[in-house]
Chain A
Amino acid sequence: MTDHAMHAPAEDHGQEHLSDATYIKIALLLVVITAVEVAIYYVDWFHTSGTLVPALAVLSLVKFITVISYYMHLKVDDPRYRYIFVCGLILAGLIVAALAALMRTHKIDYALRFITGA
């Protein structure tokens, strides 16, 4: 817990040590990933094999992490910003997942009663 205590800087410089060229390369990467996402949507194999949704999920996750790491500087900035944001992100993610799962079983439950006539 006290790891960062010792180097507490008096000023927050935002620590951007990335060059414009890096930013442009990252933008290219993001564009390529987006293009791939859209492209695989039009490939039938992904639909029939059931790999489309996992592939899209992974690709957008990569985009998401790239933007927060580089454009929002979480990778190079003070780690405490990262903790704050990731806490919110994880909490939100867990609650979204739980809500979706709970509501889904609820709907299925209704359908089940409908089918079984209960």
Chain B
Amino acid sequence: MAQAVATLEHAHGAGDIPHAADHADHPPSSTGLDSRKLLMWLFLASDCMFFGSLIAMYMIYRGDAERMFLAGQGAGPVPHEILDIPYTSISAFVLLMSSLTMVLALASIQRGNHRGLRIWLGATAALGLVFMGGQFYEFTAFYHEGLGLTTNIFSNSFFVLTGFHGAHVTIGIIWLISLVIVSLRGGLRQDQAMNVEIAGLYWHFVDIVWIVIFTLVYLIPYDDVTTITEGAEHALRFIGLG
């Protein structure tokens, strides 16, 4: 929650100095760097730690549900039974394409092409909505197949990791739509392209997080994880007893 709120804050609250911005969108600074863009990069660096912690959690519990299942103790569906790789590949494709439309939106406003800006921003938001629709459908389908949030340690970690990614995407969509509305009301001039650039940085970050999640959660197989006994043998060898 902290992250989500912080994101919103930075998204919209980041422009305190900028009424200098009525004249130039890039207030000069000691470093020559735009303060708001610097803020966004710092936030993204920090968000690496946020998703890093979540991903560490996922990696730690990854495969545990499968092992419990093999040991006959597990409850509910386990990853290899339920994850749908072709379906999620399409989601991943959609999100990658949204990164393209985002960067085209930025290129448009930098050229002063306001119509292009709105079209590409709208397309980005729409692709984001498709992605979220996909996630919603996926979650619902899992739920109907018996995998709820609390079913097993796989479902705990899966829903929380992908859910927080989804929350980031949702905030991004709201931000993009806000930008479209501002642009329609004439509030986004060519020299204010930084507003789009910062939103874009956030959006691309959400995309790269999905690149990691897609590989870690969906593609790396669960069935050839080392079994506990094998791991124990490794450990014995590691400490010089095997």
Contact = CB atoms under 8 A, between A and B. Distances in A.
Interface of A: 8-14, 16, 20, 23-24, 26-27, 30-31, 34, 37-38, 41, 47, 52-53, 56-57, 59-60, 63-64, 67-68, 70-72, 78, 80-81, 84-85, 87-89, 91-93, 95-96, 99-100, 103-105, 107-109, 111-112, 115
A96 B193 contact: no
Given A71-B102, A84-B42, A99-B60, A34 B96 contact: yes
Interface residues of B, number: 64
Given A23-B100, A60-B215, A109-B235, A80 B31 contact: yes
Interface string B27-58: 01011111001100110111111011101100
A60 B42 contact: no
Q: A-B pairs with the 4 shortest C-beta distances?
A: A88-B45, A92-B52, A27-B100, A12-B34
B13 to A, nearest CB: 19
B123 to A, nearest CB: 13
Contact of A41 (B93, B96, B219): B219
Given A8-B31, A12-B33, A63-B211, A23 B221 contact: no
B98 to A, nearest CB: 10
Contacts of A64: 208, 211-212
A14 B193 contact: yes
Given A12-B34, A23-B103, 19 more contacts: A8-B31, A12-B33, A12-B194, A14-B110, A16-B110, A31-B97, A37-B215, A37-B219, A60-B214, A67-B99, A67-B207, A71-B204, A84-B41, A92-B52, A95-B53, A96-B59, A104-B60, A108-B228, A115-B229
Contacts of A71: 99-100, 102-103, 200, 204, 207
Contact of A85 (B44, B219, B224, B235): B44
B interface, by DSSP: helix, strand, loop or mixed? Answer: helix
Contacts of B37: 12, 14, 81
Contact of B220 (A9, A16, A56, A84): A56
Interface in B153-205: 193-194, 197, 200-201, 204-205
